[in-house]
Structure 1
Amino acid sequence: MSAKREQFLKMIGQGWSVAAAARELGVSRSSANNWKNGYRITRTDGTVVTFEALTPAPQPISTRFLSQQERLLIADELHAGTSLRRIATLLGRAPSTISREVRRNRGGLAAYRPFTAEHLARERRRRHHRLKVQADVQLGSWVTARLAEYWSPSQIARALPATFPGQRERHVAHETIYRAVYRHQLPPLARSSRSCLRTGRTYRKAHRHPSRRRARFGLPVRMITDRPAQVLERLEPGHWEGDLIAGPGHRSNIATLVERTTRFTVLIPVLGSRHAEVVHRGLVAALGTLPPDLRRSITWDQGIEMSRHREVSADLGCPVFFCEKGKPWQRGSNENTNGLLRQYFPKGTDLSVHTPEHLQAVAYQLNHRPRAVLGGKTPAELFDALLPFPHHPLLRP
């Protein structure tokens, strides 16, 4: 069974609807129905393969409720003529618990049947209640009107006590409003206004607990805190910072590399869906011709395009360090250069139209521009002085 089918089975067992579980897992509704109800496939050779319907395991319940095993023992002891108080002692329960169990879950039968009692108890535990904003027409209409004005659920919840003073039954939490929106339980809420939340979502997006989130890279990485101290002082050349600038929908990208000491810039086109492979090849092609003392380290953002960082490090003979999440200033030279490059590659434009020759011409122009941080010198001038031989390909227009 695939991982998604296993997760689907677990979600159905927890009470998720088929549509909600399919939407959460990113599968089609028809596939989810097939997983739940079973299906058959006729192969080209005429053989028929049957996939049985999934049977979700019952959701575990708290130990404060009677279990199936305890109900079996109750039935056996009642059949043997044991008193309710004695059964309670055997189970370590209160006598009232056993008395209420036998009275409520007999199901109109003459004898107490444990499996019938288990089914009745599980059905009774289900919560079949309506939210306040759905049951109260006036409250629901007021909340719907505010949602139509693009109020957030938190703003609506804070305004309810002043709008309905002294009516605590109409003071609801913002989570109640979110549930009503996601479950479409506000009757006046039209289809066009179901996505009135600022996120535009019509369903809840699940968030993993930080301790359960899957790491971006499968293998351990070197963080920027492991980087040598001399890199921060910019006294030693050969330490690079890199990132991607993206086009619409990340369908076209340009990898940017900046040398920390000279601010020398290298541009690499990244096209197609296999970003990691393209970035790997581009970095090796761009930096592989440099002497070892000009490729001492690379500092990169935690983008998936650098998932082959171990291959990059092995091929170039230099370590790859990663910035902390949400801290782009840790590679400030690269961020500043990306801002300068947006003059040539505006946001929202297709970056795939730029040829490698054009990218090299843009890098040439940027590298031959005097920089105040370099004392009026150009990045190309300083970088050229570090090379043991002239006319390096990176310096050509």
Structure 2
Amino acid sequence: MRGVVVAGRGRPGPEPLSGQREWFAALVAAGVSNSEACRTVGVNRKTGTRWRYGRSIPAAGGGLLHYAPVLRPRDGVISSRYLSEQERVVIADLHRGGVSGRVIAAELGRSPSTVSRELARNTDPGRRYGAGVAQARAVLRRGRPRPRRVERDVVLRVFVQQCLDVRWSPEQVSHALSVEFADQPARQLCTESLYQALYSRNPFVQRTLRSRRWRSRRRPHRHPDARRPARHATPLVMIEDRPASVNDRVEVGNWEGDLIMGPGNRSAIGTLVERSTRAVVLVHLPDGRTAVAVRDALVEVFAAMPAGVRRSLTWDQGTELSAHAEITRILSLPVFFCHPHSPWERGSNENMNGLLRDYFPKGTDLAVHPAQRLRAVADELNNRPRKTLNWATPAALLAAHIAALPSASKSIVVRR
């Protein structure tokens, strides 16, 4: 494969796609959509998007590395996607002569819907369409760059930053704004506005509005030592045998569990999510992820729970839970197993594992985190409002349930 040798390195890099880039720019300037231009040129759609808008990727030393757009519009030149003043003159002349919109569109080489919208927007009550008036209205409607509200409003920016500091999502921040500033519509932002602010190329916004590092892309791969579906010596009770009350999320106390892994699967953290309240418990595994270590850690965690919130556990078929029969015997806790390659059967747990990667990034050693750190992360997540809970917090719901339990259900029963 041909390439370009990078200065100071012996390994050649990929050859620049200069010709395809110029072809792509010409198609975009002619009004072709981004997807169609990418198909014509023969590049991935994401490549075309990066050429047009630039991109930001995580830098090695922290923060973001920004790449400017490769294709820049000429100053003062509006894309040919939009109607020009000359085209509006043609529309006015033909429309005045009684020509239909479809015929006008064919004359201009435009879509009939483009001409239809133009006439609907700029025809006055007397059914007259003037090219000069239409052009002036189009110029007024054209977007102008303006400061974002999080730039202008210090109070708003501070509140948003406080939410981002505890890793709330933009949707959660948006809901919190509608509650905190219920009588101030100017300080309420929709989810998309917050996303736009987070991805803004404005240096001021980048410096003042910090957030968790969003994943730029996902590269699916499988390592040779990655986990495979395990064969258990003890027969498994499959997920379809769970009671209906577990599937319906009616009862509190039905947990989904899994492990998040460190590099080379040499370290792990256990994750437990309660299906009804979405409360999370992180399991410290200082002795590794062997079946004995996971058994002892789960017994210790569940033994500290009231019996009324310890009803069942659902896990995947990893070898770390080979001692499931002992867990059931000691805790009187039935264990159910998902089917191989079916993570959606533990959807709440998989969602939580994704959130946990903000605190424990992939490729980092998970053994360095003490039990106190795991409790602090779990507390932060359990005090985060959740849309699926009607913006209540898992901690509040679980505490209310435990408070309402009868005395017998609050007792701890463990058989060794």
Q: TM-score, normalising length from structure 1?
A: 0.44
Q: TM-score, normalising length from structure 2?
A: 0.42
Higher relative contact order (CA 8 A, sep 6+): 2
